[in-house]
Structure 1
Amino acid sequence: MSTTTILMTVLGIAVFAVGLLFSIAWHELGHLSTAKLFGIRVPQYMVGFGPTIWSRRKGDTEYGIKAIPAGGYIRMIGMFPPGPDGRLEARSTSPWRGMIEDARSAAFEELQPGDESRLFYTRKPWKRVIVMFAGPFMNLVLAVAIFMGVAMTFGFQTQTTEVAGVQQCVIAQSENRDTCETSDPVSPAKAAGLEEGDKIVAFNGQKIDDWATLSDKIRQTIGPATITVQRDGREQTLNAVLKKNAVAKKDADGEVVPDQYVSAGYLGFAARTEIVPLSFGDSVVRMGDMIENGVDSIIALPSKIPALWNAAFSDGERADDSPVGVVGAARIGGEVMNLDVPAQNQIAMMLFLLAGFNLSLFLFNMLPLLPLDGGHIAGALWEALRRNVARVFKRPDPGPFDVAKLMPVAYVVAGIFICFTLLVLVADIVNPVKIT
């Protein structure tokens, strides 16, 4: 590996690390700002874990950076309510009960005179929902802003209606060959006189502006058709006779389905691809697809664990859509900086990588499980439901929902997440996802 390659790899990793730290700080800023807005005391705002490498106190909050850039947190006073007697309970010998009491003690460990009115659990449920949702929401805002900005200014690689090459004969795409045989008929595009560099502007007299529309019309046509092209600055019309052929199947979104074919009309040319900025509307649609794919990926995580295990500890292949951790994403950032593409392409790819990371943070934290933000949101919503039901049926107010009682479940969930994170880490080191 050359010195230049090493330097560019280190640069890519460093750029991703800075983006990661900013994303974490941005997430915690959402929690911090809304907590202070509702009068909750926040003793600490930290980016990273482990030993503190820098901190400064402003007001009643210590702001700092820790050594391991793999997360962050704010500490709020009174995350959990006190025990039934109104006081902190003594440590129990039961391990499950002990988890609850440890969590309750930690919630009050920095309680100072005057903090009784600044406790998290004393705020109304809707305020607690806002505080806990604000962190993931900041990641969603950042993901949308980055994605939309890059999509509308830089764009995506898109197939156009310009001809990049003409097929010489008709070959079923399912045959996976590109060499013509004597028995193969001449392709309709070749017979009609279509040439490389032609831009198709109309099909059967109807104006065409994009590849998706042209592709659909070609597939729907078997037999005679007129093709209007721009060639050397002038328009001319070609007559073609489209043939039936086995072509790649497309899904509802117009994406090619691997290894599946259908019989459809066939013209026989390759479309040129270029990077095209998207309109605001198209960018919104793409962003929606990105969120939908993210949700599907979160749901599919358990099913990907066996393949991930084989990739980490056996000779299994690492799938392109395999889960990737911080280390794997940083390695991808290093690869991006070594791609033989213009600098603006590298910048766009790094920004898309950061947008995807922030979207993952949003979706992951919204899972209704402690210790994630979604678990605290679920607890606050459950409390609101209990109190409203009691009010409707004129029952006594059940009081705050004691989220601390769910801490045994939280420890189990945290244990599963830690094991999964370690598995992804091993796979990212020994069998990483690569973009080259």
Structure 2
Amino acid sequence: MSEVLLWVVGIAAAAVGVAVSIALHEVGHLLPAKRFGIKVTQYMVGFGPTLFSRRRGETEYGVKAIPLGGYVRMIGMFPPGPDGRVKASSTGRWALMAEEARQASSVEVAPGEEHRTFTSKPVWQRIVVMFGGPFVNLVLALVLTAIAVSAIGQPGLVPRLSAVSQCVLPAGSTATTCAPGDPLAPGAAAGLRPGDEVVQFDGRPVQSWNQLSAAIRDHGGQAVDLVVVREGQRVPLTVTPVLTRREAVDADGRPTGGTREVGFLGVSPSIAVVRTGLDEVPGVVGQQVQTVAGIVVRLPQRLYDVAQAAFGTAARDPEGPIGIVGIGRLAGEANALPAVIPGDELAERTSRLVSLLAGLNVALFVFNLIPLLPFDGGHIAGALWEVVKKGIFRLRRRPDPGPVDVAKAMPVAYGVSILLVGMSVLLLYADIVRPVTLNR
């Protein structure tokens, strides 16, 4: 299959995956809303002109032209004003924005349907309805990650030796062969051979290359018993890693900067399909959630960095925010990359695309929980504040204050919406002129 065709397939797969993720996100709002008796008038995937729609019962289901989101329209999303009317008690600019939101919310409430509005429902039901969308994205992220890393697997380093050095070379040496007088490497001295699979080190089972590498580094100058599987037979050996200065790395083998004295054996791992246990999937997704949350917290700085890259000469941060065009490009590039392990390119490419879609759903989960309108988190925050406010009034033996008037936050919602449009335009431009690419 040609590289161009692989790019097209990858982009198409990403587009379908994005659309399905958005559609299921909205289903996460739709189902609990209907279950709690809230009247839902529209379920739409996309924004702008309607391409297709069909009415079933009281709900119109459809697809719109701009595939950048979706929405579920529920009646009575904002409560009446404090006096029970939708009209503002003030003529100020912010009050008029709140009034417009209340009026738009009340238009679809027919006489006798007051009990079917969103704000008429108990707080816990409103939270369930608004959290339903992000929750679906979280579940999708877990399922897709499980498929990618547990069912299919991904290329990774395994403790089966691909090479055994014959000598110890100084850190930073560019030599490719041993010279007379170079000290013998401890792995070769102990009798290790390429193809040996290390299954035990210092009396402990070896589960991964990172675990073995860390153990070797921690046992410099110490005689250690290990067991390898060679041609189907378990072979016990004793090795003594030598102390040598090497680049400092963390527990996952990532460089941390500088050098330190560590144990050195002189062996290299092999690359094979590595399948992560299902019990580790929540931790993998949790780490992704933490990473995306960090991006959200530092979003102004991250967007400034994107602008510096787009309009200047700074490098684009591969861990920074990207737009829908960037996601499509990464999907196409990931699908076109050659397989690391020959023999099953389809499985490897599938794992890459599924992992990309899992990361997208993590981003949808985190971003939709931002506690500001128009995000789902804005309504959740309003409901939680209502619980706190009613609790305070109850302690003070004051009358129930009623629902929190989320409509008062509409000026913030408009401001956030403007920022989102600006962010989308910036990311679109940056994804075109200075795209994030995968390392080849």
Name the residue aligned to 2:364.
361
**Is the deviation greater in 424-433 or in 190-199?**
190-199
Deviation at 1:187, TM superposition (A): 2.1
Q: CA–CA distance in 1 between the matches of 2:394 and 2:283?
A: 43
Could you say what secondary structure the match of 1:71 adopts?
Answer: strand
Counterpart of 2:242, as a letter, is: K
Look up the SS of the partner of 1:56 in the other structure.
strand
The CA distance in 2 between the partners of 1:33 and 1:145, in whole Å, is: 20
Checking the alignment, whether the CA contact within 8 Å between 1:24 and 1:47 is kept in structure 2 is yes
Map Cα deviations across residues 372-413 of structure 1 (whole Å, 9 max, x no partner). 111110101111211122122211111111001111122222
**2:94 and 2:408 in contact (8 A); partners too:** no
Q: Distance in 2 between matches of 1:388 and 1:91?
A: 26
Instruction: Give the conservation status (yes or no) of the 8 Å contact 2:216–2:265.
Output: yes
After alignment, is 86-95 or 109-118 more displaced? 86-95
Rounded Cα–Cα distance in structure 1 between residues aligned with 2:21 and 2:56: 22
Alignment pair present for 1:413 and 2:410: no
Structure 1 267/99 Cα, relative in aligned 2: closer, same or farther at 3 Å? same
Equivalent position of 1:66 in the other structure: 64
SS in 2 for 1:87: coil
Give the % identical residues.
43
- Counterpart of 2:342 in structure 1 is none
For 1:402, the equivalent position in structure 2 comes to 405
Alignment match of 1:38 (pick from 36, 39, 48): 36
Indicate how the Cα distance of structure 1 residues 178 and 402 shifts in structure 2: closer, same or farther if over 3 A, else same. farther
Of residues 422-431 and 176-185 in structure 1, the stretch that sits farther from structure 2 once superposed is 176-185
Paired with 1:206 and 1:397, the residues of 2 have a C-alpha distance of: 63
Q: What's the CA shift for 1:140? A: 0.7
Matches within 5 A, 1:202-217: 202-204=200-202, 206-217=204-215
2:244 alignment partner in structure 1:
245
- What is the SS of the residue equivalent to 2:241? strand
**C-alpha separation in 1, matches of 2:175 and 2:299:** 38
Judged with a 3 Å threshold, the aligned counterparts in structure 2 of structure 1 residues 70 and 176 are, in CA distance, closer, same or farther, namely: farther
Which one-letter code corresponds to 1:177 in the other structure?
Answer: T
* Corresponding residue for residue 382 of structure 2: 379
Aligned residue type for 1:308: V
Range 15-24 or range 392-401, more displaced: 392-401
Q: Quickly say closer, same or farther: Cα 1:330–1:193, change in 2 above 3 A.
A: same
Match of 2:80?
Answer: 82
Q: Does the aligned pair in 2 maintain the 1:171–1:180 contact within 8 Å?
A: no
Measure, in 2, the Cα distance between the counterparts of 1:242 and 1:161. Answer: 16
Q: Does 1:156 align with 2:132?
A: no
Q: Report the counterpart of residue 291 of structure 2 in structure 1.
A: 293
CA offset digits 1:269-295 (Å, max 9, x no partner): 111121122222233332333333333
How far apart, CA to CA, are the structure 2 residues paired with 1:322 and 1:204? 41
Hey, what does 1:230 align to over in structure 2? 229
> Any unmatched runs of 5+ in structure 2?
340-344
Matches within 5 A, 1:338-353: 338-341=336-339, 342-353=345-356
2: distance between equivalents of 1:212 and 1:160?
8
Asked whether the equivalents of residues 131 and 376 of structure 2 are also in contact (C-alpha less than 8 Å), the reply is yes
RMSD: 2.3
Q: Which amino acid aligns with 2:249?
A: K
1:304: how far off? 1.9
Runs of 4+ in 1 over 4 A off after TM superposition: 90-93, 180-184, 204-207
Residue in structure 1 matching 2:143, options 142, 145, 153? 145
Once the two structures are TM-superposed, the CA of residue 239 in structure 1 deviates from its matched residue by 4.4
State the 1:332 CA deviation: 1.0
- Letter in structure 1 aligned against 2:303: I
Aligned 8 A contact 1:17 1:69 in 2: no
The range that moved more, 402-411 or 80-89, is: 80-89
Unaligned runs of 5+ in 1: none
1:138/1:239 CA distance change after superposition, 3 Å: closer
Whether 2:174 is the aligned partner of 1:177: answer yes
Task: Give the counterpart letter for 1:59 in structure 2.
Answer: G
Report the Cα distance in structure 2 between the residues aligned to 1:7 and 1:92, rounded to whole angstroms. Answer: 60
Cα 1:185–1:107 change in 2 (3 A) is: same
- Tell me what 1:271 maps to: 269
Deviating more after overlay: 229-238 vs 260-269: 229-238
- Superposed displacement of residue 97, structure 1: 2.5
Q: Measure, in 2, the Cα distance between the counterparts of 1:381 and 1:206.
A: 49
